[in-house]
């Protein structure tokens, strides 16, 4: 077992984690900053390479934070705390300027104005960006300032001291060794729950978001006493059939049409009706497809450039392999997988506009946090906010020390799991079955009977987990990942069963409560672990000037 | 259930491990070639040989520079352990690694002796006492991490012992010493000569002090060369040290230098664990099948100045190392391809989604 000591421990070296490390060291260069990164920090996270747009920027004179707040509330069925979304939009333009300072390219039009695209209902917040090396640039800056990454390590338990955060235990996903890190403050930035259901392709890792995101942070926070919210927001997006890579916004905001099987246009020019795609499928008018053939050659080239260089360059190989040329052929979309994530949806650890959770000294940022539909802008802004708060917290608080008994408990469980002897379930079989049951029982259309059937499987899987053969450190990390996935699924079942109404179109549609019920359910459903039981509660939506209830 | 997605071209692969290090799904491992495994500085000879054989000397020099700033000294010493481990040993004689390094050091000196990229200034200071192989290595490593480094050398010039004939070996050529000294200066390291430094006095003046005086076995050092307080020691001035020769002394200074950096940055001394363990690099396990069929070829002896002979010798490398797909977890995100210097890796989309 390796022992480390640091001031700020960041769990997850993706977009939020890296910018947090940078910001913390800018504010206090003497701070010790350690990053546990499950993969390798250079390309780790949902943004392995770059992005085609900074999704939310309120450009002065064109849009503002109030407009954005109205837009995100409309797009989230009203279930949005005001302050976090507002502060994100307020800081978004300064963020863009800061990124320009790193050398990130934001294309401008002939009048020198930033190129923007329509994605939100109220205005053009999405700002075009052209930077295939974004992640590598960010990492270089963080390391240059002195951040210390510990690669191939995932956080598996938070350590506390009288309710206050005191560190974490990590697991090396290659060697299976434990790493204990004492820390004055911890930032969870470990992404959403990507491997939630099975994608139609049947390939376990053929998912939209980074497949290393298995809800680790949600579970860490729950066990430490923080709340998670939006777990009933089981999101399903129409993605490229089989490859599950993104491209809808990239194409549609550049003039593409989305059609159903009858040729009816569902969207054109702006991404304003995602639900119509889901409805088309439900009503038997799928598959929907993107048509680009009417666009001029230069637009098609622009789209190809983005798809094939910036975000997921393997797109070129995928379409090439299937003989699809955008000039002649349409792109088939299927709603194939479900996931939980605060970047695109509402699921996440409850945070306020200071990135604080209910646990003193514990912060959360990025896809793992509950800032509604925050995308990359939220990961960056809240990464910075969390860092600023953490630096202050470190300076004000005395040292902490966790209890050795807590570490010993983790070690004993780890030793018990790290064995294949006498066990007859292979890890990939276990994962496949868990994710299939999640897809069977926890997504729309939902009903009480399905939730009760999930409860049977949840108990069964808890027993099966102890019978999974672990042959290597890598497989051991998978077992911890699937355990996290199961806990997130349990939260989704608890929250989904609790919210006795339908909201957000196909995202939470209950057959037994088909109507939206604002009188009773215009509130958050927050799940906390109370005496070992996942317990849901209603939490009011906060307005500007009000404290977010954590 | 799974499809194998990663295709490796074993006739061009350098076994540099970039793809393995960068894979974000922990899907790859590398079978280390024996030379790199046994080289005290971990020099990737397979990569260097294949690049030189292909006439890509500048890239070969960069591969050498990636592992050590002291390629010139290494070329002069030769890497005996690495040569002994070479799989060619029984098939016409082990590769003349030292000769190929000499070729690179003389023809690619701008790369081999290039100054390192230095991190953002940390505001911390370190003193290195002694400028033998251990001292040079320690100074360079600490400097790269952004700390201000001063070398104290009692003699009137840098690295005096290297200019003398040593046990069983010639002195290091004058031009190698000069270029090495120039690189030390270009790295921003201050050199003070002609002063017999007092370790305890310097301890008060600098944030950390590391003694590398090369002999005497006078320092009782614990793990990672820690003596006491902010004082560290490395090389054969440590009691019980089994260091022999310049190359070993140089390699032995690395763990201590890492500990000094951890100390300066406020971390515990053992913060950086063994990189090989952390990265799960695998031991060489026999020749690849393709190499088994190759005819024996005799070693071409050269002093590293004859281009044709050097390239022919480099071409004898069997290419024992390679990455392998391990866990079938590919997300087809492609950083592995991006970081491969020779396009030897290609990701196929898994069959299920092809």
CB contact under 8 A, A174 and B280: yes
B116 near A CB under 8 A: no
Q: What residues pair up with A5 in beta bridges, in sequence order?
A: A182
A308 near B CB under 8 A: no
State chain A's mean pLDDT as an integer.
Answer: 95
Show residues of chain A in contact with B120, CB under 8 Å.
144-146
Q: How far apart are CA A327 and CA A303, in angstroms?
A: 11
For position B163, what pLDDT does the model report? Answer: 86
> Which percentage of chain A shows pLDDT scores above 70?
100
**DSSP tag of A54:** E
B30 pLDDT more than 90 = no
A524 pLDDT more than 60 = yes
Show residues of chain B in contact with A210, CB under 8 Å.
24, 331
- Largest Cα–Cα distance of chain B, in whole Å? 70
CB contact under 8 A, B334 and A2: no
B120 near A CB under 8 A: yes
Q: Tokens at residue A77, please?
A: 């069925």
Q: How far apart are CA B83 and CA B95, in angstroms?
A: 6
CB nearest B26 (choices: A152, A202, A210): A152
CB A4 within 8 A of CB A34: yes
Q: What residues pair up with A326 in beta bridges, in sequence order?
A: none
State chain B's mean pLDDT as an integer.
Answer: 90
> Which percentage of chain B shows pLDDT scores above 90?
66
For position B61, what pLDDT does the model report? Answer: 98
CB contact under 8 A, A152 and B278: yes
For position A67, what pLDDT does the model report? Answer: 96
CB nearest B26 (choices: A30, A39, A144): A39
Q: Which of A304-313, A519-528, B29-38 tops mean pLDDT? A: A519-528
CB contact under 8 A, A3 and B123: no
Q: Which parts of A337-426 fold into alpha helices (H)?
A: 375-396, 404-417
CA closest to A39 among chain B residues: B24
CA dihedral sign, ordered A133, A134, A135, A136: positive
Q: How far apart are CA A477 and CA A43, in angstroms?
A: 20
ipTM: 0.91
CA closest to A309 among chain B residues: B334
Looking at chain A from residue 242 to 281, which residues have their Cβ under 8 Å from any Cβ of chain B? 242-244
CB nearest B22 (choices: A40, A144, A428): A40
Residue A254's closest CA among A117, A127, A121?
A117
> What letters, b where the CB count within 10 A reaches 16 and e where it falls short, cover B141-179?
bbbbbbbbbbbbbeeeebbebbeeeeeeeeebbeebbeb
- The model's pLDDT over B297-331, given as tens digits with 9 standing for 90+, comes to 888 988 889 999 999 999 999 999 988 888 889 99
CB nearest B21 (choices: A3, A6, A40): A40
B128 pLDDT more than 90 = yes
For position B215, what pLDDT does the model report? Answer: 79
For position B289, what pLDDT does the model report? Answer: 67
CB contact under 8 A, B278 and A172: yes
B277 pLDDT more than 60 = no
Looking at chain A from residue 5 to 64, which residues have their Cβ under 8 Å from any Cβ of chain B? 5-6, 29-30, 32, 39-40, 42-45, 48-49
- Largest Cα–Cα distance of chain A, in whole Å? 70
A455 near B CB under 8 A: no
């Amino acid at each position: 077992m390796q022992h480390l000591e640091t001031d700020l421990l960041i769990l997850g070296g993706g977009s939020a984690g890296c910018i947090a490390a940078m910001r913390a060291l800018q504010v206090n260069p003497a701070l010790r900053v350690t990053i546990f990164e499950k993969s390798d920090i250079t390309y780790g996270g949902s943004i392995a390479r770059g992005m085609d747009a900074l999704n939310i920027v309120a450009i002065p004179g064109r849009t503002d934070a109030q407009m954005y707040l109205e837009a995100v509330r409309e797009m989230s069925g009203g279930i949005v705390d005001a302050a976090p979304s507002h502060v994100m939009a307020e800081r978004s333009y300064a963020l863009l300027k800061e990124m320009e300072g790193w050398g990130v390219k934001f294309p401008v039009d002939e009048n020198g104005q930033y190129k923007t695209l329509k994605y939100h209902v109220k205005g053009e917040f999405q700002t075009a960006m052209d930077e295939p090396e974004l992640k590598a640039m960010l990492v270089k800056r963080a390391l240059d300032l002195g951040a210390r990454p510990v690669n191939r390590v995932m956080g598996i338990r938070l350590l506390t001291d009288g309710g206050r955060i005191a560190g974490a235990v990590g697991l090396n996903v290659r060697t299976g060794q434990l790493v204990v890190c004492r820390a004055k403050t911890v930032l969870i930035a470990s992404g959403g729950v990507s491997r939630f259901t099975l994608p139609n392709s049947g390939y376990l890792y053929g998912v939209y978001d980074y497949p290393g995101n298995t809800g680790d942070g949600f579970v860490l926070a729950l066990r430490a006493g923080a709340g998670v919210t939006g777990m009933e927001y089981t999101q399903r997006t129409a993605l490229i059939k089989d490859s599950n890579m993104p491209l809808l916004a990239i194409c549609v905001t550049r003039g593409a049409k989305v059609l159903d099987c009858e040729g009816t246009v569902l969207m054109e020019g702006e991404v304003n009706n995602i639900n119509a795609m889901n409805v088309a499928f439900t009503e038997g008018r799928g598959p929907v497809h993107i048509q680009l053939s009417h666009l001029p050659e230069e637009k098609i080239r622009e789209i190809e450039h983005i798809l094939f260089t910036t975000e997921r360059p393997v797109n070129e190989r995928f379409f090439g392999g299937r003989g699809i040329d955008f000039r002649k052929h349409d792109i088939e979309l299927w709603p194939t997988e479900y996931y939980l994530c605060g970047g695109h949806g509402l699921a996440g650890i409850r945070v306020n506009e200071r990135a604080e959770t209910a646990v003193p000294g514990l912060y959360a940022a990025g896809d793992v946090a509950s800032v509604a539909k925050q995308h990359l802008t939220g990961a960056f802004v809240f990464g910075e906010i969390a860092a600023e708060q953490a630096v202050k917290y470190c300076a004000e608080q005395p040292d902490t020390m966790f209890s050795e008994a807590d570490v010993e408990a983790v070690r004993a469980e780890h030793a018990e799991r790290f064995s294949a002897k006498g066990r007859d379930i292979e890890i990939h079989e276990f994962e496949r079955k868990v994710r299939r049951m999640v897809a069977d029982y926890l997504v729309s259309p939902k009903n009480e009977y399905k939730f009760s059937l999930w409860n049977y499987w949840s108990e069964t899987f808890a027993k099966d987990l102890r019978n999974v053969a672990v042959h290597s450190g890598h497989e051991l990390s998978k077992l911890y990942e699937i355990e996290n996935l199961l806990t997130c699924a349990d939260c989704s079942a608890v929250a989904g069963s609790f919210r006795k109404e339908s909201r957000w179109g196909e995202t939470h549609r209950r057959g037994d409560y088909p109507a939206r019920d604002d009188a009773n359910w215009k509130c958050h459903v927050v799940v906390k672990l109370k005496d070992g039981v996942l317990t849901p509660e209603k939490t009011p939506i906060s307005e500007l000037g009000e404290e977010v209830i954590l | 259930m799974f499809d194998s997605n990663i295709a490796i071209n074993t006739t061009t692969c350098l076994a540099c491990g970039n793809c393995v290090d960068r894979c974000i799904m922990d899907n790859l491992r590398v079978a280390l070639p024996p030379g790199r495994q046994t080289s005290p500085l971990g020099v990737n000879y397979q990569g260097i040989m294949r690049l030189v054989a292909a006439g890509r000397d500048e890239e070969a020099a960069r591969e050498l520079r990636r592992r050590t700033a002291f390629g010139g000294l290494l070329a002069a010493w030769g890497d005996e352990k690495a040569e002994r481990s070479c799989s060619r040993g029984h098939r016409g004689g082990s590769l003349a690694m030292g000769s190929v390094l000499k070729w690179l050091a003389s023809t690619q000196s701008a790369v081999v002796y290039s100054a390192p990229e230095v991190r953002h200034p940390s505001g911390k200071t370190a003193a290195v006492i002694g400028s033998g192989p251990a001292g040079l290595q320690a100074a360079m490593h600490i400097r790269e991490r952004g700390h201000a480094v001063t070398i104290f050398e009692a003699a009137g010039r840098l690295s005096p012992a290297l200019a003398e004939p040593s046990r069983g070996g010639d002195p290091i050529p004058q031009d190698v010493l000069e270029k090495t000294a120039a690189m030390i200066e270009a790295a921003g390291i201050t050199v003070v000569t002609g002063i017999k430094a007092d370790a305890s006095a310097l301890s008060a003046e600098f944030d950390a002090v590391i003694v590398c005086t090369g002999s005497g076995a006078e320092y009782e050092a614990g793990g990672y060369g820690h003596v006491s307080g902010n004082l560290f020691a490395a090389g054969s001035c440590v009691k019980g040290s089994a260091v022999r020769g310049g190359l070993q002394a140089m390699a032995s200074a690395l763990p201590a230098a890492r500990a000094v950096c951890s100390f300066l940055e406020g971390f515990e001394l053992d913060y950086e664990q063994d990189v090989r363990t952390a990265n799960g690099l695998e031991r060489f396990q026999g020749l690849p099948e393709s190499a088994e069929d190759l005819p024996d070829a005799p070693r071409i002896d050269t002093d590293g100045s004859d281009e044709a002979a050097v390239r022919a010798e480099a071409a004898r490398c069997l290419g024992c190392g390679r990455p392998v797909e391990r866990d079938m977890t590919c997300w087809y995100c492609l950083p592995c391809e991006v970081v491969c210097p020779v396009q030897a890796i290609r990701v196929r989309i898994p069959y299920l989604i092809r």
